[in-house]
Amino acid sequence: MNSLSRRKFLKISGATIATAAVLAGSAKTFVKASKKISERKGLEIIPTYCDLCFWKCGALAYIEDGKLWKVEGNPADPLSNGRLCPRGTGGVGAHYDPDRLKSPLIRKSLRGEEKWIDVTWDEAFDYIAEKMIKIKNEYGPESVALFSHGIGGSFLKHLIRAYGSPNETAPSFAQCRGPREVGFELTFGDVVGSPERTDIENTRCLTLIGSHLGENMHNTQVQEFSRAVERGASIIVVDPRFSVAASKAKYYLPIKPGTDLALLLAWMSIIVNEKLYDAEYISKYGTGFDLFVAEVSKYTPEWAYVETGIEPDLIRETAREMARYKPASLVHPGRHATWYGDDAQRSRAIALLNALLGSWGRKGGFYQTHSFSIPKYPYPPYPELKKESVHNPNNKYPFATGEQISTGIREATITGKPYPIKGWFVYGTNLMQALPNQNETVEAIQNLDLMVVVDVIPSEIAGWADVVLPESVYLERYDDLNTSPFKEAFVGIRQPVIEEPNDQKPNWWMAKKIAEKIGLGNYFPWKDVEEYLDTRLQAADLSLQELKTKGIIKAPQQPIYFEDGAEPEFLTPSGKIEFYSSQLAEAGFDPVPRYTKHPDPPPGYFRLIYGRAPVHTFSKTQSNPLLKDMMDENELWVNTDIAEKYGLNHGVYIKLKNQDGVVSNKIKVRVTERIRTDCVYMVHGFGQKSRQLRSTFNKGASDSELITKYTIDPLMGGTAMNVNFVTFEMEA
């Protein structure tokens, strides 16, 4: 490559890099592509997309003499702009993780004891097929459910639907961003979605309430956040902890946990009473504004001060600040929104605040997304469903639409109502840490006749399986196409850049093989995944070969702001932005959000709050050697005054006991001024109990273990988890 920069290099040889091996400084540039990757010589750069989280950034994998060397961002990718986040950069560690699952396993003793027999793939599939057929005969196909997270689950979803079950869920709804999507949909008729449609890059005022950007590394958002900082955008951060984002903020509001809705209502009342809202926008697109005004205008900052602990003047000043920059003023909707049980209403309040600022559909607010339209594979029609999903019987949670409530399926598995669930497929999600109250999860599992876990590592949930299927990591497999809705429509491909080190297999292969074993082979008519992808791509006039070479193909730009011609469309019953929601009123809920008080921790107890670290994704990356090297345990953030009062020294290990008497693993104390005195904080995902994950076993404490209590959001069934209180157990 001599002195050519990588970018130049990519431009020049863009068409050939992927399949051709490039030998630095050698005349022998091309190697037969058919040869096994691990046997090739020279430097080869293969595009794919990342799977360390669900953002799906476009990446370039570097293979040096047949060994995986590094992963960089694909400069052609609009999500990463050529730069991956720390987890993505550490993605190679997933391939090299010594704790990876290596071959299929069948349980040989009690569930959860993690005792296994190594079996062949055929034996594993026979076991699964036999149970699936039995369950279908005895209970009907609906009695098998799938829990999956990430795009890798798509072929298993297809399998489950072909098998005849409607029960297919992901914890990312009811345990994470569900309330947000529901709150926004009730207001604007559309969800925020993933990647979030936030135009942080162009905003002039960014309000973060329930988002710790910078510790949460969703790549595009962090890149845009940094640009906003550089442009001098006004930043308002609301957090009980002085987050990284708080250190970049103009205003930091150290809110008392559980009172965010009070602050939001007070902000809205100021904006309404001082007529700081975008009147033109509201009269054009809004409905029910007067009823809304009548409701919110009573929430004064003085009232909110009592609830939130934030000075009335600071509340006023920040309300005016965000209004000053409207409509390029963005109140970020956050992502993990299941906090206190009124989360959909709180999210709706955020939506309404944005509506007041006129930011939905506007530059510097929420842009309109576009996605590359690629026809689905022409499969035969799925069998007709005989029963509805068990996730939400009798429509108990009327606004749980679009996605299913995972804890609802767990509940049905425990109770057998409305009908029994006898089989679980779990793909790429560690339910032990994703779902609240681990005992209930175990109770449900004990009712199963079949429990299959597909994962790349022996996660905690894998320990409870009957059959564990070791999956290839993302660098070793194809997955479905990525056509995430974004500022510009694009399609991205995930393709193998290196072979599996052992007997791991891609999920598409597993789904197809299981289907064939249970007589559903006709639902997998393609020979292999390449044929599947090629068929889909050809239907969109693209070719697999081209996509494999470039990694990303973009569609022409389309307008994303109303002012540029994007079509305002609100899929609410009224077709407008619903300041007052008749739907909610009809279902017996507050049509305009109202404040509810949440219980405070009893004396001697602290609210347990949790969050993300930039170098890990939930509980799935702790054993990645590169990421483990960055952070191998979590710490308990304790305010300096509290630490002094309880005699806790920085760096000592203690345990936590929650209100239900559950005692955590030991965790290192981080004494800091950067948190309030009424809560403690830890990064989620640690304290893992899987003994096969040798490198992470019992490292740090698990917030999930302490989350035995949860409050259910009556609108959509989300499980609020910031309702647990802990006290210190010194004798660690």
Partner 1 sequence: MHEIFTTRNNPYVDPIMAMWEWQIPVYLFLGGMVAGMMIIAGYFLFSGRHKESNCACFSIPFTSLILLSLGMFALFLDLAHKPYVWRLYTTFQLKSPMSWGAWILILVYPALIANILIRPSQWMINRVPKLSEIAGKIQQHHILIRNIGILNMLFGLMLGAYTGVLLSTLGSRPLWNTSLLWVLFLVSGLSAAAAYVHLVAKNKAESELLAKADNGFLVVELFVFVMMFLGLLSSAKPHIEAANLLLNGAYAPIFWVFVIGMGIVIPLIIQLLAVNHKVKHTPIAPIMVIVGGLILRFVIVSAGQYSHWFNAHFH
Partner 2 sequence: MARFGMVIDTKKCVGCQDCVIACKTENKVPEGHDRDWIVTESHGKFPDILMEIRTERCNHCSNTPCVSCCPTGASHIHDVGGVVLVNHDLCIGCKACVESCPYDARFIHPDGYADKCTFCIHRVEKGLKPACVEVCPTYCMHFGDLDDPNSEVSKLLQSRKYHVNLPEAGTQPNIFYLI
* Position 98 contacts partner 2 (CB under 8 A): no
Pick 218 or 410: Cβ nearer ligand SF4? 218
Distance CA 168, CA 426 (A): 10
Distances (CA, A) of 717 to 61, 209, 423, 573, 668: 41, 22, 22, 22, 34
Cα angle value 612/618/622 (rounded, 5°): 105
E strands in 376-473: 423-427, 450-455, 467-470
Residue 364: its H or E element: none
Pick 446 or 672: Cβ nearer partner 1? 672
- Contacts with partner 1 in 489-508 (CB under 8 A)? none
Stretch that binds partner 2, among 258-266, 323-331, 673-681, 700-708 (CB under 8 A): 673-681
By CB under 8 A, name the one of 171, 254, 286, 334 that touches partner 2: 254
By CB under 8 A, name the one of 674, 697, 698, 727 that touches partner 1: 674
Stretch that binds partner 1, among 5-13, 131-139, 670-678, 700-708 (CB under 8 A): 670-678
Burial class (CB in 10 A: 0-12, 13-18, 19+), 479: buried
Q: How far is the CB of 153 from partner 2 (least distance, A)?
A: 27
Helices (H) and strands (E) in the chain, counts: 24, 26
User: What character string, x for contact with partner 1 (CB under 8 A) and - otherwise, covers 388-417?
Assistant: ------------------------------
DSSP designation for 173: I
52 binds, among partner 2, ligand SF4, partner 1, none (CB under 5 to 8 A by kind): ligand SF4
Burial class (CB in 10 A: 0-12, 13-18, 19+), 375: exposed
- Contacts with partner 2 in 123-162 (CB under 8 A)? none
Pick 50 or 671: Cβ nearer ligand SF4? 50
Q: How far is the CB of 630 from partner 1 (least distance, A)?
A: 7
By CB under 8 A, name the one of 596, 672, 677, 727 that touches partner 1: 672
- Report residue 294 CA to chain centroid gap: 36
Longest dimension (CA), the chain: 77
* Position 66 contacts partner 2 (CB under 8 A): no
* Position 647 contacts partner 1 (CB under 8 A): no
Q: How far is the CB of 683 from ligand SF4 (least distance, A)?
A: 16
Angle between helices 260-273 and 343-357 (to 10 degrees): 30
105-107 vs 467-470, strand pairing mode: antiparallel
Q: How far is the CB of 222 from ligand SF4 (least distance, A)?
A: 8
Query: Dihedral (C-alpha) 206, 210, 213, 217: value to the nearest 10 degrees?
Result: -140
Positions touching ligand SF4 (CB under 6 A) are: 50, 52-53, 55-57, 80, 84-85, 87-88, 217-219
By CB under 8 A, name the one of 119, 244, 314, 630 that touches partner 1: 630
Stretch that binds partner 2, among 1-9, 114-122, 154-162, 504-512 (CB under 8 A): 1-9
Q: How far is the CB of 49 from ligand SF4 (least distance, A)?
A: 7
Torsion sign, CA atoms 336, 341, 347, 353: negative
Q: Which of 729, 718, 557 lies closest to 656 in space, CA to CA?
A: 729
Distances (CA, A) of 388 to 147, 382, 394, 449, 523: 17, 15, 10, 21, 22
User: How close are the terminal C-alpha atoms of the chain, in Å?
Assistant: 56
234-238 vs 251-253, strand pairing mode: parallel
Angle between helices 260-273 and 301-308 (to 10 degrees): 170
Pick 122 or 644: Cβ nearer partner 1? 644
Q: How far is the CB of 693 from partner 1 (least distance, A)?
A: 21
E strands in 56-102: 58-64, 67-73
* Position 640 contacts partner 1 (CB under 8 A): yes
Distance CA 616, CA 619 (A): 8
Whether a cis peptide bond, with omega within 30° of 0, leads into 559 is no
Stretch that binds partner 1, among 25-33, 200-208, 487-495, 668-676 (CB under 8 A): 668-676
Distance CA 192, CA 179 (A): 11
By CB under 8 A, name the one of 674, 698, 708, 709 that touches partner 2: 674
Stretch that binds partner 1, among 367-375, 412-420, 534-542, 671-679 (CB under 8 A): 671-679
Pick 573 or 625: Cβ nearer partner 2? 625
55 binds, among partner 2, ligand SF4, partner 1, none (CB under 5 to 8 A by kind): ligand SF4
By CB under 8 A, name the one of 384, 567, 673, 731 that touches partner 1: 673
Q: How far is the CB of 150 from ligand SF4 (least distance, A)?
A: 10
Residues that bind partner 1 (CB under 8 A): 630-631, 640, 672-674
Residues that bind partner 2 (CB under 8 A): 1-6, 69-73, 83-86, 89-90, 92, 213-215, 217, 219, 222-223, 225-227, 229-230, 242, 244-248, 252, 254, 614-615, 625-627, 629-630, 639-640, 672-677
